[in-house]
Amino acid sequence: MSSQTDSPADSSAIAREALRISHVKFRWDPTQPPLVYPEITLDAGEHLFLRGPSGSGKSTLLSLLGGLILPDTGTLSLLGTDLAGLTSGQRDRFRADHVGVIFQQFNLVPYLTTLDNVMLPCRLSRKRRRRALPTAEQEAESLLTALGIPQSHWHRRVTGLSVGQQQRVAAARALTGGPELILADEPTSALDSDNRDRFIELLLGLAAEKHSSVVFVSHDQSLAERFDRQLALQVTP
Ligand SMILES: Nc1ncnc2c1ncn2[C@@H]1O[C@H](COP(=O)(O)OP(=O)(O)OP(=O)(O)O)[C@@H](O)[C@H]1O
């Protein structure tokens, strides 16, 4: 992360459209056919369930939406900002300011405490720090409480937590500072059905409180009805 200057989307803080994808194609390997994506739009605060067979490009789409990679053709805008128009440093800043991520492996920082992991986005982004209420630390504590992480774990290294607890810490980290968009890639794959249902309910409830849009990738079709919309990707022939 480079500087603490505000990202180019500041003027669109009241953007009603969370994301728009149009004619996007992306190729990891020039000898293979490209992944071809349908037109996708998501309104601010909408929750989208994304499914599709293995290899249909779901994780790649989340990398595109996070600005980690750029489309070969087509346009992809978040909060009204075309990511291809930003430098790589600006894209990093944009992601830190506006996007929360929950991955299958959680990507928590192993040598930090639970609380420090949750506060990390607010340390990296002034914008998210400002939106964390009343303070970054107090918001992190309320999120951990809401997600059922016992206070006795807050000041211990996050690696001492169970898999289900680490997953909820990753969700708290994604939600802190109210990012406009939350990207979740198969975050429930390690959970039994009771914990999975509880986790989804908490995640979507807290995202709704913060008016965050959600793109949630899962193979588990039974979860789809909890979302405003669902979209199935196809494997490119
Ligand atoms: N980092 C990468 N380098 C090269 N090819 C990749 C990379 N990531 C994905 N691919 C290829 O892109 C295609 C789409 O992969 P992707 O992981 O996006 O699909 P997916 O729908 O998320 O699959 P799954 O459900 O199995 O996780 C696959 O053919 C995959 O091999």
CA distance 111 to 21: 37
Judge if the beta carbon of residue 152 lies within 6 A of ligand 1. no
Quick one: pLDDT at residue 105?
73
CA of 131 to the centre of ligand 1 (A): 34
Nearest Cα to Cα of residue 44 among 23, 63, 67, 20: 20
pTM of the predicted model, to two decimals?
A: 0.91
Instruction: Provide the pLDDT confidence category of residue 1 given band limits of 50, 70 and 90.
Output: very low
Q: How many residues does the chain have?
A: 237
Judge if the beta carbon of residue 56 lies within 6 A of ligand 1. yes
Choice between 218 and 10, residue whose per-residue pLDDT is larger: 218
Quick one: pLDDT at residue 195?
81
CA distance 85 to 101: 22
Query: What is this model's ipTM?
Result: 0.97
CA distance 204 to 224: 12
DSSP readout, 222-235? Answer: GGGGGSSEEEE---
CA of 235 to the centre of ligand 1 (A): 11
- What are the pLDDT digits (tens) for 80-117? 999 999 999 999 999 999 999 998 777 899 999 999 99
Residue nearest to atom 13 of ligand 1 (CA): 55
Judge if the beta carbon of residue 31 lies within 6 A of ligand 1. no
Choice between 191 and 172, residue whose per-residue pLDDT is larger: 172
148 pLDDT above the threshold of 70: yes
- What are the pLDDT digits (tens) for 164-185? 899 899 999 999 999 999 999 9
Residue nearest to atom 9 of ligand 1 (CA): 60
Percentages of the chain per state (helix, strand, coil), in multiples of 5: 40, 20, 40
Residue nearest to atom 10 of ligand 1 (CA): 28
Judge if the beta carbon of residue 91 lies within 6 A of ligand 1. no
9 pLDDT above the threshold of 80: no
Nearest Cα to Cα of residue 28 among 65, 55, 66: 55
Pocket of ligand 1, candidates 25, 26, 27, 28: which has the most ligand atoms within 8 Å of its Cβ, to mutate?
28
- Burial class of 110 by CB neighbour count within 10 A (0 to 12, 13 to 18, 19+): exposed
Judge if the beta carbon of residue 67 lies within 6 A of ligand 1. no
CA of 97 to the centre of ligand 1 (A): 26
Quick one: pLDDT at residue 218?
92
Instruction: For strands 47-51 and 213-217, give the pairing.
Output: parallel
Quick one: pLDDT at residue 7?
53
CA distance 149 to 132: 19
Q: Which domains can be identified in the chain, with CATH numbers? A: 15-232 (3.40.50.300)
Residue-wise burial string across 117-127, b where 16 or more C-beta atoms lie within 10 A, e elsewhere: bbbbbbebbbb
Quick one: pLDDT at residue 15?
62
For residues 133 and 141, is the Cβ–Cβ distance under 8 A? no
Judge if the beta carbon of residue 34 lies within 6 A of ligand 1. no
CA of 54 to the centre of ligand 1 (A): 8
- Burial class of 47 by CB neighbour count within 10 A (0 to 12, 13 to 18, 19+): buried
**Average pLDDT over the chain, rounded to whole?**
90
Percent of the chain with pLDDT over 70: 94
Quick one: pLDDT at residue 164?
86
Average pLDDT over residues 60-66: 94
CA distance 216 to 79: 18
